[in-house]
A and B are shown apart, each in its own frame.
Chain A
């Protein structure tokens, strides 16, 4: 399956339309096992849609997606089985407001993995400890700061023990002083070898943790390469333009 050199995630010729609008146009993307790929680009360039397609939250119109040797697109795919192995974290956290923090983290292991309650509880406790929010286990999400909520959302995804994590602009809704705690958690995930695809506006963070940077523009992967090359020596004029604007905005 994913032996040396083989790609863990392969996106081949993926096209996604919303009505007449083509949001993704023949996108190709490869991610190695333990690899970290960052998607950068303006809002509306298709980053989020691409992540949602990989988690089958959006149906792909053309092309195919293969994860760990298993084809996700096409007929007769058990979407629930696919999603079990792929975690996604959203910009708006999307915690379940009627459940406590620990219940949020336990839901997946309990109902999807079918583990006994005490086992789920210990998984959740361990994760909450890891993200430093053990003390908040019995609180409801609304009582937590944005950064804390996002860390819980990451823990909730990790509780499924996914092989792949998709992070969809997870710091974009946060106050600047809360961004660091979330990024630190992501950094720790890269250190343990989690395969990840991030859509992000945090350029310096993307540069630090990524193996590959993909610049999306108008639903097309305009340029991709190692971070040093993309950020120091972008080849495509559109990439250069985008990065110039980012620097101008003081975000790098």
Chain B
């Protein structure tokens, strides 16, 4: 037991590994923030395309479906290898000079956009058709009905599953560390290699957990407040 504690949660090693793991963790946070912003927007666009009505939009819908099917099924590790190691070799200057961190963000965005598209789509489909009908009956166009009536309701409903996917994304930034970005997990590995002690991983884990808990409580609060405001008391 003592040996276990010493190897994984040693107080001295904790303090010693902390600064490097912290500086690595800032890279995780950085990647996560950019990827999340991109995912939020791109996934919404793809979800909208996937729901477009009419025969004319069929090819677009097909593309959206193909994208989500393919990237939901592909492990992030594979996408990350292709992006970080493969893309710079294509010879385009902007890809050649791109940092591994930026390419890692591209990989995270590609994979998580596929997940989040499905979350949005479920939300859009959960809004009853009568809402859209009421909006259209006022003379709103398809896009106006979507924008002012369907999406605001859909997005509210998917905040909890969306947060869940973002926690996944936050954690998966560590996978990018395995392919040449010195983020928190990679810093912990460096520490382990230098001192034969794995407490650095514990430090990294603590950071990740500390990042998700406030976010989860924040979302809970958001949902409760909205319910209080929109629902009659006692229902």
Does residue A142 face the partner (Cβ distance < 8 Å to B)? yes
Tell whether A83 is near chain B: CB-to-CB under 8 Å: yes
Contacting pair A98 B153 (CB below 8 A): yes
With a CB–CB cut-off of 8 A, which chain B residues contact A160? 138-139
Residue contact A98 to B139, C-beta cutoff 8 Å: no
Contacting residues, chain A, for B133 (C-beta < 8 A): 57, 90, 94
Determine whether the beta carbon of B138 is less than 8 Å from that of A97: no
Report whether A90 and B130 are in contact in the complex, using a CB–CB cutoff of 8 Å: yes
Q: Which of B136, B139, B149, B153 has most A Cβ within 10 Å?
A: B139
For residue A55, CB closer than 8 A to chain B, the reply is yes
The CA of A84 and the CA of B138, in the complex, are separated in Å by 6
Q: How many inter-chain contacts with C-beta < 8 Å in the A-B complex?
A: 64
B138 x A94 contact (CB < 8 A) = no
> Are B131 and A96 neighbours in the complex by a CB distance under 8 Å?
yes
For the complex, give the distance between the alpha carbons of A88 and B138 in Å. 8
In the complex, whether A111 has a CB less than 8 A from a CB of chain B is yes
Secondary structure of the B side of the interface? helix
- A112 and B139 form a contact (CB under 8 A): yes
- Assess whether A80 is in contact with B139, with CB atoms less than 8 Å apart: yes
If A107-B148, A140-B229 touch, does A84 touch B139 (CB 8 Å cutoff)?
A: yes
Is there contact, CB below 8 Å, between A94 and B134?
A: yes
Q: Is A108 an interface residue (CB 8 A)?
A: yes
Give the most central of A87, A90, A94, A112: most B CB within 10 Å.
A94
Q: Is the CB of A111 within 8 A of B131?
A: no
> Does B230 lie within 8 Å of A97, measured CB to CB?
yes
Q: Is A143 an interface residue (CB 8 A)?
A: yes
**B235 — which chain A residues lie within 8 A by C-beta?**
142
Q: A94-B133, A112-B139 are in contact. List 15 more A-B contacts (CB 8 A).
A: A55-B137, A57-B136, A80-B139, A81-B139, A92-B130, A97-B153, A98-B152, A107-B135, A107-B138, A108-B138, A111-B140, A140-B229, A142-B231, A142-B232, A160-B138
List 17 contacting pairs A-B, 8 Å CB cutoff, sorted by A: A57-B137, A80-B140, A81-B139, A83-B136, A83-B139, A94-B134, A97-B153, A97-B230, A98-B153, A108-B138, A108-B140, A111-B140, A111-B144, A112-B139, A140-B230, A143-B232, A157-B137
